Amino acid sequence: YCPAGGELRAVLVTQPLQPTLSAPGVEFYVDCEGQYEGSQRWASGRTEAIIKHMQNNNVKLLLSSVKQEELAIYYAKLYGISVVECLSSEEMALIREITGVSPYTPCCDNIGAEISETTVVMFCERLLLGSKRCVHIGFTSVCDFEPHCLILCGPVEDVNKQHAAALQGAFTMLQQLFKTFEQ
C-alpha cells in the first residue's frame, strides 16, 4: 500500500510493533485456552492502539528495520499507514542523518503522547526492479546535504549484486562524509 501524493509524515521504528507474550529465554506458561486467547486479544488490542496512535499523529509512512508481524501490517493498512520493512542498519543510519529523527519506541507510558520524532516525506512510490520490490522515497533534508535519487539496474542478477554492493559502499561513504562535516 502506498499513500496518496503530497507531503507525508514518516516515523522510524527498530522493533516489532506487536508486543511479544514473553521475552527471549522466558517461559510463557498457559494452563487453559482462555488464558491464551486473552493474551492474544491483549497483544492485538495493544498493536491496534499503537497504530491508531500513529494515525492520530498524522503518520502515513512507517519505516522499519525489522519485519513487522502480519497483525501490525493489517492494522497499518486498516488505518491508512504504509509500511516499509527490513531496512538495513546502513539505510536506517542514513535516513537518521538526512532527516535528524530518532526511532520511535512505543511503550506503556508514552502511548498517548505526541510522536515528535517524525520526518516529512515528499513522496513514497513502489518500484519493481526485475523481481525485486523496492520503494522510492523522497526525503526532505534538515541539514546542508540535499538527497538525490540514484537507481541502478543490471540486466542479470550478478550485475544487480555488484550494483547493490556498490550502493552499500556509497551508503558507507555518505555516512563518513557526514561525520567529516560534523567535525
Region 26-54 average pLDDT: 83
Q: Report the amino acid identity of residue 125.
A: E
Q: Parse the chain into domains and list their residue ranges.
A: 8-145
Q: One-letter amino acid identity for 99?
A: T
d(C-alpha 58, C-alpha 54), whole Å: 6
- Asked if residue 2 has pLDDT above 60, the reply is no
What CATH code would you report for 8-145? 3.50.7.10
89-99 vs 157-182: helix crossing angle, rounded to 10: 40
Residue 48 has pLDDT above 80, yes or no: yes
Q: How big is the CA angle at 152 (ends 83 and 81), to the nearest 5 degrees? A: 10
- Cell 510522536 belongs to 115
Which pLDDT tens digit goes with each residue over 70-121? 999 999 999 999 999 888 888 898 888 888 899 998 875 567 778 888 998 8
150: pLDDT strictly greater than 60: no
Alpha helix (H) ranges present in the chain? 33-56, 70-78, 89-99, 157-182
pLDDT of 21-38, one tens digit each? 666 666 667 778 887 788
